Amino acid sequence: MAKAARVLAALKRDGWTVTRIARDYGYTLAELRKLWEGLVTSVLRVALFFDEEAGNWHYRVPALHINGGGTPTRQDAERDALSAIAFALEGDPRDYDTDAETLTLDVNMAHSA
């Protein structure tokens, strides 16, 4: 599975064509299609808005119940929103159930197309 993760990362990072990935990583096109179809993705909505009265930018991530802002620029609000999302998804080891079976998920944040 590590090889598959590298292939998908290369595709996202470099925009490689499927044919080149198949050749470079030794997959058939059918195997790559199956790998791509099995990829679980989700889109997380982040609302950025300017508060004219306060004169600064705020953000809201409804799915995670995150609200924040008060930054001077939109870019600062976007950066803070990404940090807040990462913090929320990180969790607190003190909250972990030590008796449960666990799995970890590799979550990458990038602008969607």
Helix ranges restricted to H, 1-113: 2-14, 18-25, 29-37, 74-90
Alpha carbon of residue 88 to chain centroid? 13
Segment 45-55, tens digit of pLDDT: 999 999 999 99
Cα–Cα distance, 111 to 42 (Å, whole number): 12
pLDDT for the residue 84: 93
pLDDT at 5 exceeding the cut of 90: no
Q: Give the global pTM.
A: 0.59
CB 64 within 8 A of CB 87: no
